[in-house]
Structure 1
Amino acid sequence: MANADAAKEYGVNSALETLPTAMYLFGMGSGALFAGPLSETFGRNPVYLTSTFGYIFFVLGSALKPNFGGHVACRYLVGLFASGTLGSNGSSVQDQFSFVGRTFAFPVIAWANVAAPVIAPIAGGWIIDNDKLGWHWTEWVTLIISGTAFLISFLFLPETYLPKLLDWKAAHLRRLTNDQRYVSQHSRNLKQKSFGQRLRSRLSLPLKFIHTEPVITVLGVYLILLYTLLFTFMSGFDQIFRRAYNLSAGQTGACFGTIAAGATSFMFAVPGLYLGARRKAHLTKDATLEPEFRLYPGFLAGPLLPAALFWLGWTDVGRIPMWSVLGACFLFGLVLMALYTSSYGYIVDSYGTHAASALSAITMLRYIIAGGMAMGTRPLFTLPGFGVQWTMTVLGGVAVLLAPAPFVFWKMGPRLRRRSLFAVSPRPGPGEKE
């Protein structure tokens, strides 16, 4: 919401309005390469707390009044340090919950990841509309929220990575017994290699996943499309609402609430998915199911994604009431949440102990490419003869091609995991040997 005002204040071309958003996404993508592997080496908490501490300082840099180059650089570094949390939070869910428990817990984390970027512009729009505040206050409010979250995490967030917990337990037993034989496997592995060797080996994992894992490649493309759409919406709402319906910045920001409402409405389906998981697991708390169970929301959401995009594109005209476009945004929010939960849940269950590296790979892909696409698609909204209608039509056409992906993984997933070097081996199918 602040991009246009920031560009105006710094006297830069309107074509560069989306550059701060794109640089934030590039920072998220490049940082995600490190987040997962580092959390598997040092534990989740050191990554969360260290990265958030750095993130707060660069939000402060954005809130102060640098030149445009300084503002863009701060936005990149904000994204770089923010990736410490987004790159590992799915793995923290896996650390703490069984398969059945993750059915309920992961959508809560996914909701925070999906809804927050579309709730923030609601406040941002009204802040910008207030002459006494201005766009810098979008950064100050972010700083206040982030600082509070950091303090709460620093005081109360527990470590969840099991190998790290076993390191601590072994160290405690050594102190109690003075017996140096108590050493965890994780600690033993760390001693066999230098820090540089460990880091190189861990950082290469996400790149290997992109190279060798079809699950990561295809779901990565799906999530790239979703995040391209999300951040295209964020940069294109001026065209979709503000100019088409002559709305103020505050009213335009409030329109993002329909996407958040759609994402929130998916949560009503979560108890049903949880009960379904429990029944399929024969009401056993610690039972496991095949990762394909996570694909159920995607079966319905896949075909609805192009429907939402075509609906939005071809009813975004002044003579059609704005409620139609808001309905399309609501459906997009619902679909976004369903596909995000389905894709991430499938990856976490498929890759087990390697889930952090798998999530790093897919996070890196989606943010770097979405950053480039957010810049590339923004001019399409204002291109004569193209506009909102054809921009959404092109993106909807891509969504049509990707709609069968959940069905393909339902059929091919076990075979792909069996061939993978990193995935959890599936149970044999009918007629197959153990």
Structure 2
Amino acid sequence: MANADIAEEYGVASSLEALSTAMYLFGMGSGALFAGPLSETFGRSPVYLTSTFCYIFFVLGSALRPTFGGHVACRYFVGLFASGTLGSNGSSVQDQFRFVGRTFAFPVIAWANVAGKPLFVPLSKSPVIAPIAGGFIIADPYLGWHWTEWVTLVISGTAFLASFLFLPETYLPKLLEWKAEHLRRLTNDQRYVSAHAQNLRQRSFAQRLRTRLSLPLKFIHTESVITVLGVYLILLYTLLFTFLSGFDQIFRQAHDLDKGQTGACFGALAAGATSFMLAVPGLYLWARRREARLVSSTQDANTTLEPEFRLFPGFVAGPLLPAALFWLGWTDVEMIPMWSVLGACFLFGLVLMALYTSSYGYIVDSYGVHAGSALSAITMLRYIIAGGMALGTRPLFTVPGFGVKWTMTVLGCVAVVLAPAPFVFWKMGPKLRKRSAYAISSCEK
């Protein structure tokens, strides 16, 4: 919401107004390469706290920078250090909850990522809540776009202090290392050593870091699940960021809204994402009953459902994605009330949430203790591609004879191709996981 004002204040071409968003996304993608592996070496909390602490200073730099070049550089580092949270939070869910519990917990975290994430990066064109506030902040002549940074700083600083005081460590190998250290102190018996600590002692820090950092890259070209699902999510996020890059064109051009009103239209996306949460208790009860029947039939209390169970929301959401895009593109005209477009945005938000939850839940369940590295690989791919989309797709909405209608039509056609993907994973997932050296096969508990 602030990019146009930033370009005007610094006297740069309007074509560069999306550069701050793109650099943030490039930073997020490159930082994701480190987040998961580092959290699997030092624990989740040190990565969360250290990255957030550094992130706050670059948000401050974004608010005080005197030049456009400094602004763009700060945006990159804001994204780089923000990735410490985004790249590991799915792993934290895996640490704390069994399969059935994750059915409830992961959608809550996913909702925070999809709907609430931009509270920490209000200058980005990411979904969904912050642009609502950002639009009205920018439209206020007594505030202006600088206040989007100050509000971000206040929220982020408060979140950091709360995390510093109350955030526990959840990574099991690290907890076992602490327990072994505690037992050594109590008993003076040096035989109490965790496998994680032994691994750390056997190799230098540089060797450990090199091994861990190579995992996401290794996953991309050797793990069939990550490769195939990564391509799917890249295409999905290409749709998302192309859609969002033209949000102001969608509403301001056809319906003549000001910046505050345009920002408020993001509320339809947020409402759609939030409405998916209403289905979560039902999914939780369904998973609980299915697992109970499975345990009863196998007489094994450790039996759990296969990761493919996470794909069920995608079965419904996949076909609805092109419907939302076609609906929006062909009804975004002056003669049709704006409520029709808002309804399409609501459906898009709901579908996005369902596909995000099913895809990331599937990765977490498929890779277990290696979920951090797997999520890092996926996150790196989708955010680097998204950064390119933020730069390259915005002009589509302003091309004469193309505009919103045909841009959405092209996106809808791509979404039609993607619609069967959850069904393909349902059939092929067990075979792909059996070929993997890191994924949990269908025969493992």
TM-score in terms of structure 2 length = 0.94
Q: How far did 1:287 drift?
A: 4.6
Q: Does 1:186 align with 2:196?
A: yes
- Give the partner amino acid of 1:138: T
Is 1:324 matched up with 2:340?
A: yes
Q: Is the 8 A contact 1:98 1:286 kept in 2?
A: no
Q: How many residues align structurally?
A: 429
From 379, 382, 400, the equivalent of 1:366 is 382
**Counterpart in the other structure of 1:12:** 12
- CA deviation digits over 1:56-98, x for unaligned, max 9? 0001111114211110110110000000000000000000001
Alignment of 1:124 onto 2:134? yes
1:393 lines up with 2:404 in the alignment: no
d(CA) in 1 for partners of 2:255, 2:145: 22
Choose which of 114, 121, 144 in structure 1 pairs with 2:154. 144
The 5 A counterparts of 1:3-42 are 3-42=3-42
Q: Is the 8 Å Cα contact of residues 245 and 393 (structure 2) preserved in structure 1?
A: no
Question: Whole-Å Cα distance in 1 between the matches of residues 267 and 239 of structure 2?
Answer: 16
**1:431 corresponding residue in structure 2:** none
Question: For 1:201-225, what per-residue CA distance to the aligned partner results, in whole angstroms no more than 9, with x for missing partners?
Answer: 1111111111022221232233223
The residue aligned with 1:377 is 393
Moved more, 391-400 or 335-344: 391-400
Residue 174 (str. 1) matches residue 174 (str. 2): no
Counterpart residue identity of residue 401, structure 2: G
8 Å contact from structure 2 (residues 243, 408) kept in 1 = no
CA distance in 1, matches of 2:155, 2:190: 45
- Which piece of structure 1 moves more, 9-18 or 393-402? 393-402
C-alpha RMSD over aligned residues: 1.4
User: Counterpart of 1:217?
Assistant: 227
Bigger Cα displacement from structure 2, 388-397 vs 370-379: 388-397
Moved more, 220-229 or 23-32: 220-229
Residue in structure 1 matching 2:218, options 203, 208, 212: 208
Letter of the structure 1 residue corresponding to residue 254 of structure 2: A
Q: Give the superposition deviation at 1:321.
A: 1.2
Q: Which residue of 1 aligns with 2:298?
A: none
Counterpart CA distance in 1 for 2:193 and 2:357 is: 37
In the TM superposition, 1:23-422 aligns within 5 A as: 23-116=23-116, 117-282=127-292, 287-422=303-438
> In the alignment, is the contact (CA less than 8 A) between 1:126 and 1:253 conserved in 2?
yes
Structure 2: distance between partners of 1:220 and 1:4: 32
Distance 2:418 2:248 in 1: 28
C-alpha distance in 2, partners of 1:66/1:155?
34
Aligned partners of 2:105, 2:140: CA distance in 1, in Å?
38
Q: After the TM superposition, which of the residue ranges 198-207 and 79-88 deviates more from structure 2? A: 198-207
Letter in 1 for 2:174: K
* 1:251-295 superposed Cα distances (whole Å, 9 cap, x missing partner): 000000000000000011101110110111117796511001000
Q: Would you say the 8 A contact 1:311–1:325 is kept in 2?
A: yes
> Which runs of 5 or more structure 1 residues have no equivalent in the other structure?
429-433
Percent of counterpart pairs with the same letter?
84
CA separation in 2, counterparts of 1:219 and 1:249? 36
CA contact (8 A) 2:32 2:376 kept: yes
Q: Deviations over 1:357-394 (max 9, x none)?
A: 00000000000001101211101111112111121122
**Contact 1:35-1:360 at 8 Å conserved across structures:** yes
Distance between the aligned counterparts of 2:232 and 2:157, measured in 1? 33
Report the equivalent of 2:123: none
Check conservation: 2:224, 2:436, Cα contact below 8 A: no
**Paired letter, 2:323:** A
- SS of the aligned residue for 1:281 comes to helix
Kept after mapping to 2: 8 A contact 1:298/1:406: yes
Looking at structure 2, the residues matched to 377 and 195 of structure 1 have their Cα atoms a distance apart, in angstroms, of 42
Once residues 156 and 131 of structure 1 are traced to their aligned partners in structure 2, the CA distance between those partners, rounded to angstroms, is: 39
- Structure 1 letter corresponding to 2:381: L
Alpha-carbon distance in 2 for matches of 1:156, 1:50:
15
Distance 2:315 2:263 in 1: 31
Q: Aligned residue for 2:443?
A: 427
Distance 1:376 1:335 in 2: 24
**2:10, 2:377 → 1: CA distance?**
35
Q: d(CA) in 1 for partners of 2:249 and 2:381?
A: 27
Residues 59, 74 of structure 1: 8 Å contact kept: yes
Code of the residue aligned with 2:194 in structure 1: it is S
CA distance, structure 2, for counterparts of residue 244 and residue 70 of structure 1:
35
TM-score w.r.t. the length of structure 1 is 0.97
The amino acid across from 2:237 in the alignment is Y
Give the residue type in structure 2 aligned to 1:33. Answer: L
Q: Which runs of 5+ in 2 are unaligned?
A: 117-126, 296-300
Matched-pair contact (CA < 8 Å) for 1:303–1:400: yes
